[in-house]
Structure 1
Amino acid sequence: MTEDELITVIRKQTPANNLAPVATTTVIAAVEAEVGHPMPRFLRRLYAEVSNGGFGIDGWECASLSPLPDQYFCDSEDILELYRSFTTPTEDPDDETVPPGIVPIMDRGCTMWTLVDFRTPGGRIWVWDGNECCRRLLPTTIMSVRAYFAEGIAGRLDGPSPLNSQLVRELCEH
């Protein structure tokens, strides 16, 4: 499936009430400035061509880039509020902060989040899982935002976890 076809599918499967106006280049630039890295190209296209949040996979919705008073996609006002909360150290020694440049974009419920590494051109996918051995950032085998959405559209994210299980075992042992 081409990138354009994938974007068309995502747009069509997004409920009409979740289609907020698209993000402006000014809003995208503000997110990139605070994160300190450019948004991966495919993710940028989703926000600029589909909607400023609300699109996603199987009921998991991406947060908006800016506050949208009439839309609600997750427990935060926007991605920058999420980003700050994930990268700011907490008082709980079991909570690991997320390194700068890795941005939470999708609330998957039950304290699980999909994050995108803006430091990589394709946007490597990471997972934050408050239910795993410890509340921390976990790597996946999915190396780009585009691949993540393609796998989700194809229904392949419900099966075996995309987590790198060997690394998860090693992290949990320490």
Structure 2
Amino acid sequence: MTEDELIAMVRKQTPADNLAPVAAPTVIAAVEAEVGHPMPRFLRRLYTEVSNGGFGIDGWECASLSPLPDHYFCDGEDILELYRSFTTPTQDPGDETVPPGIVPIMDRGCTMWTLVDFRTPDGRIWVWDGNECCRKLCPTTITSVREYFAEGIAGRLDGPSPLHNHLIRESCEH
């Protein structure tokens, strides 16, 4: 499937009420400035060609890049609020923070998140699971945002813990 076909599939499977206006270049620039790395190209295309959040896979929705008063996609107002909450140390010494450049984009429920590594050109996928497998940030074998969406649309990320099959386990051990 070409990148254009994949974007069309994401758009088609996104409920009409989730299609917010696309993200403006200034919004993307603000996100990139705070994160300190460029947004992976395919993710940028989703935000500028599909919607400013609300698109996703398997019922999971990507957060918006900026606050959208008429749309709610996850437990955060926007990606920068989520990014700050994941990268800011807490008072609890047992809480692990996420390194700068790794951005939470998708709330999968029950303290499970999909994160994208802006430090890599294609956006390697990471997982945060506060419940079961890792209770910290873990890399996956999915090396790009494009691959993540292609796998999701093909139904290969279905199930209660679909990304756990893609974890790089030795990196997740405590």
Q: TM-score range by the shorter chain?
A: over 0.9
CA RMSD, 1 decimal: 1.1
CA distance in 2, matches of 1:163, 1:133: 9
User: When the two structures are superposed, what TM-score results if normalisation uses the length of structure 2?
Assistant: 0.94
CA distance in 1, matches of 2:115, 2:2: 23
Tell me the alpha carbon deviations over residues 12-57 of structure 1, each in whole angstroms, 9 at most, x when there is no partner.
0000000000000000000000000000000000000000000000
Q: Give matches, 1:45-124, under 5 Å.
A: 45-124=45-124
Kindly indicate whether the alpha-carbon contact (under 8 Å) linking 1:54 and 1:73 is maintained by their aligned counterparts in 2: yes
DSSP-derived class of the 2:165 partner: coil
The aligned length equals: 170
1:24 maps onto 2:28 in alignment: no
> Where does structure 1 differ by over 3 angstroms across 4 or more consecutive aligned residues?
none
1:164 maps onto 2:163 in alignment: no
DSSP-derived class of the 1:109 partner: coil
CA distance in 1, matches of 2:157, 2:70: 30
CA distance in 2, matches of 1:40, 1:65: 14
Question: Higher mean Cα deviation, 107-116 or 126-135?
Answer: 126-135
Tell me the alpha carbon deviations over residues 73-123 of structure 1, each in whole angstroms, 9 at most, x when there is no partner.
011100000000000001122211000000000000010000000000000
Q: Percent identity?
A: 84
Counterpart position of 2:41 = 41
Give the superposition deviation at 1:163.
1.1
CA distance in 1, matches of 2:133, 2:123: 25
Kindly indicate whether the alpha-carbon contact (under 8 Å) linking 1:94 and 1:134 is maintained by their aligned counterparts in 2: no
Which ranges in structure 1 are unaligned for 5 or more consecutive residues?
none
Counterpart position of 1:143 = 143
Alignment-mate amino acid for residue 165 of structure 1: R
CA distance in 2, matches of 1:111, 1:49: 29
User: When the two structures are superposed, what TM-score results if normalisation uses the length of structure 1?
Assistant: 0.94
